[in-house]
């Protein structure tokens, strides 16, 4: 065997290097500047440590801070390990479990020593200081493979019961690796890592909070302390992120929802929203807008049952794949006597629907369908229930009861590309109408656990690619990206990720091709050849759920909605009581024109009224006094900011009516 291997670099050039060479060796052979900048390497596409030996011919790319996604992943992973080391250094007896990187940072779950209670935010400054000491020590990070039994024994010897359990449960054929931080601390990890702790910027992280977390996510297990942090490549990135967090806190939909009296949630209905009158105005305006868009796009709106028999969910596959997220209901009259169980062991089971798709197939199956009937687009503002864990619930963003802007398109194979393209165009119009011109399109590919054959998945995934290509959106301008393993268990899907006013992304819309459910539920149509064929089913949503999308809208606009969505579009406020009658007349004229209006006749100074209605995010204020009453005018003030303008009442109404008209109804 040759002692040399050939490494192909990103520019196509090749280098012959000794077998067992490392990314660091290659960087050094190119120049000292690259060696200093290199953080890791990609070998045949796999991200590895800079000092991992390369033993065969391969494609090699050196990773630097310019490769921001990889560099951030490495840094955040290392920050998590430094956090764990710091906690054990400061608090001997603490057990470590595991800690991954996250979208904007990292966390680590630790078990506090018996001598103290859970960690709190008061502990964070000391932990941060110790982390900076470890980073400043520039400790080498070194990978080492261990025999399973020896590693388990080592963990047990150190009193690390969680790590010993984890090591024992890892797949038998998997090599167990640890990473040493210097020579005095190590953790079990697949890697990769930076070459040393000193490659982290000590000013580029901040510990943010502490919460409880169950070991392995199971409430029956021990409660741990989860310490969160945010980590970046440099202080400038950290500062920008902290500014975004401050802005996000100001825009928190739960805070604004309370200030604007839009909704509330309470323990008596975990994960279900109590919509107040003003909040339901937004809901209804959005729902009416979506109905008009769907009607114009050729959808037929249907309504399906909330509860269906478990046998139906078994047939669709949801009972086996999704049951832990379903609310299951016994089909039996409960026992009302004090003695005996409420429900017998003979009860048949039903379930609240977690999604609408099986019911839409049942509607499709009613009567004989011809190829001429396709595509058939069935839409439903469908109320669904999913049994989310209490700890996962979060305002409007994650709830148990929600309404989807759901639809399913039944079509022929030759219609798929056209239907997906039509959907992409409809979605584009809706997002732009709602104030989101910046969004990215991702293709989520087959997961490990799935229904269907590989051939079916090959065909479905390629159909999605072809459809996006047909719309000209399969490029960087549209954020096009493929996401391996992220598809649903029955189909690949296109995901649409919105970017909001402060740069956060939200995965909202989806469309999925599905040949599995029509097969399982025996849906068919008569084709042109006279034979029965299976339709392709396209599952699609634009908003996702009304609850979550309204939460996103609240935070995107910081509660100051465009006028057509604003709960209160105009407040008529008096300066003096002599104008009360005129103020009532103005309000009636506004309401007759379809403008959501209120009157404020309180004996308060006008500046107080302006301030209070600005806080509740009313869109406009029309100020009236004696002069306005005599002249038939109003002083119009945009409460989002701007100068006050005196206008004839009719002109002010025309201006407000134009802004209050939904975008799809404007000429």
> Dihedral through CA 444, CA 401, CA 300, CA 371, nearest 10?
40
Catalytic residue among 241, 386, 540, 596: 386
Respond yes or no: is residue 250 known to be catalytic.
no
Question: In terms of DSSP H, where are the helices of 45-199?
Answer: 68-90, 124-136, 148-157, 161-169
Strand order in the sheet with 141-146: 141-146, 176-181, 185-188
Respond yes or no: is residue 424 known to be catalytic.
no
CA–CA distance, 167 with 586 (Å, rounded to integer) = 74
Closest CA to 623 of 640, 611, 606: 606
Residue 2, both tokens: 């040759």
Strand partners, 96: 110
Catalytic residue among 42, 139, 360, 408: 408
Closest CA to 488 of 465, 511, 471: 511
Distance of CA 497 to the CA centre of its chain: 8
Closest CA to 462 of 424, 420, 508: 420
Catalytic residue among 493, 548, 596, 617: 493
Cis peptide before 434 (omega within 30 of 0): no
Respond yes or no: is residue 292 known to be catalytic.
no
CA–CA distance, 350 with 364 (Å, rounded to integer) = 22
Distance of CA 261 to the CA centre of its chain: 25
Catalytic residue among 49, 406, 428, 500: 406
CA–CA distance, 651 with 550 (Å, rounded to integer) = 32
Strand partners, 559: none
Strands 570-574 and 597-600: parallel
Strand partners, 540: 407, 511
SS (H, E, C) 395-429: CCCECCEEEEEEEEEEECHHHHHHHHHHHHHHHHH
| Count of CA atoms in the C-beta half-sphere (13 A) of 657 | 13
- Dihedral sign, Cα of residue 92, residue 96, residue 100, residue 102: negative
Catalytic residue among 95, 312, 404, 415: 404
Respond yes or no: is residue 357 known to be catalytic.
yes
- Rg, C-alpha atoms of the chain: 30
Under a CB-based contact definition with an 8 Å cutoff, are residues 40 and 26 in contact?
no
Under a CB-based contact definition with an 8 Å cutoff, are residues 105 and 80 in contact?
no
Closest CA to 458 of 513, 418, 412, 411: 513
Strand partners, 142: 180
Catalytic residue among 81, 539, 609, 637: 539
Respond yes or no: is residue 142 known to be catalytic.
no
Closest CA to 207 of 131, 132, 124: 124
Distance of CA 49 to the CA centre of its chain: 30
Respond yes or no: is residue 406 known to be catalytic.
yes
Respond yes or no: is residue 404 known to be catalytic.
yes
Residue positions annotated with a catalytic role:
357, 386, 404, 406, 408, 493, 539
């Amino acid at each position: 065997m040759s002692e040399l291997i050939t490494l192909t670099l990103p520019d196509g050039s090749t280098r012959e290097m000794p077998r067992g060479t490392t990314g660091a060796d290659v960087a050094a052979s190119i120049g000292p500047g690259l060696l200093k900048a290199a953080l890791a390497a990609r070998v045949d596409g796999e991200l590895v440590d800079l000092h991992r030996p390369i033993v065969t011919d391969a494609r090699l790319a050196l990773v630097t801070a310019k490769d921001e996604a990889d560099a951030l992943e490495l840094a955040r992973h290392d920050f998590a390990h430094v956090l764990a080391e710091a906690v054990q250094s400061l608090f001997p007896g603490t057990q470590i479990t595991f800690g991954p990187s996250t979208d904007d940072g990292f966390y680590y779950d630790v078990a506090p020593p018996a001598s103290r209670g859970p960690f709190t935010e008061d502990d964070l400054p000391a932990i941060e200081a110790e982390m900076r000491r470890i980073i400043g020590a520039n400790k080498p990070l070194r990978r080492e493979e261990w025999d399973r039994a020896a590693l388990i024994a080592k963990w047990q010897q150190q009193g690390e019961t969680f790590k010993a359990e984890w090591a024992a449960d890892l797949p038998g054929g998997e090599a167990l690796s640890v990473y040493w931080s210097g020579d005095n601390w190590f953790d079990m990890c697949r890697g990769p890592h930076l070459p040393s702790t000193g490659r982290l910027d000590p000013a580029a992280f901040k510990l943010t909070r502490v919460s409880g977390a169950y070991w392995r996510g199971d409430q029956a297990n021990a409660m741990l302390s989860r310490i969160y942090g945010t980590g970046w490549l440099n202080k400038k990135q950290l500062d920008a992120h902290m500014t975004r967090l401050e802005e996000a806190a100001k825009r928190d939909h739960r805070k604004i929802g309370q200030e604007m009296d839009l909704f509330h949630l309470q323990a008596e209905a975990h994960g279900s929203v109590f919509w107040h009158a003003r909040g339901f105005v937004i809901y209804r305006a959005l729902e009416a807008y979506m109905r008009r868009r769907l009607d114009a796009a050729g959808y037929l709106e249907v309504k399906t049952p909330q509860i269906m028999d478990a046998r139906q969910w078994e047939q669709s596959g949801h009972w086996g794949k999704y049951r832990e997220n379903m609310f299951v209901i016994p089909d039996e009259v409960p026992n009302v006597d004090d003695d005996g169980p409420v429900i017998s062991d003979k009860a048949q089971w039903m379930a609240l629907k977690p999604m609408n798709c099986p019911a839409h197939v049942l509607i499709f199956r009613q009567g004989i369908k011809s190829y001429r009937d396709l595509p058939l687009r069935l839409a439903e503002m469908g109320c669904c229930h999913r049994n989310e864990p209490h700890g996962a619930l979060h305002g409007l963003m994650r709830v148990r009861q929600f309404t989807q802007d759901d639809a399913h398109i039944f079509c022929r194979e030759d219609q798929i590309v056209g239907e997906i393209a039509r959907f992409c165009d409809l979605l584009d119009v809706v997002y732009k109408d709602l104030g989101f011109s910046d969004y990215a399109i991702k293709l989520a590919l087959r997961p490990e656990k799935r229904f269907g054959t590989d051939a079916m998945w090959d065909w479905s995934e390629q159909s999605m690619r072809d459809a996006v290509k047909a719309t000209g959106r399969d490029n960087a301008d549209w954020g096009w990206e493929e996401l391996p393993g992220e598809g649903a268990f029955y189909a690949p899907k296109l995901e649409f990720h919105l970017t909001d006013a402060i740069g956060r992304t939200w995965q909202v819309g989806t469309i999925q091709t599905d040949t599995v459910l029509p097969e399982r539920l025996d849906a068919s149509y008569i084709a042109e050849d006279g034979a029965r064929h299976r339709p392709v089913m396209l599952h699609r949503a634009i908003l996702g759920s009304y609850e979550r999308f309204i939460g996103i809208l609240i935070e995107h606009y910081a509660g100051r909605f465009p006028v057509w969505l604003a709960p209160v579009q105009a407040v008529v406020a008096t300066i003096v009581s002599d104008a009360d009658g005129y103020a009532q007349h103005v309000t009636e004229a506004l309401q007759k024109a379809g403008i959501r209006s209120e009157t404020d006749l309180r004996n308060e100074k006008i500046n107080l009224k302006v301030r209070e209605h600005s806080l509740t995010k009313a869109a406009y204020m029309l100020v009236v006094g004696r002069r306005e009453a005599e002249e038939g005018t109003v002083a119009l003030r945009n409460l989002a900011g701007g100068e006050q303008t005196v206008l004839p009442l009719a002109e002010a109404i025309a201006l407000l009516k134009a802004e209050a008209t939904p975008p799809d109804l404007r000429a």
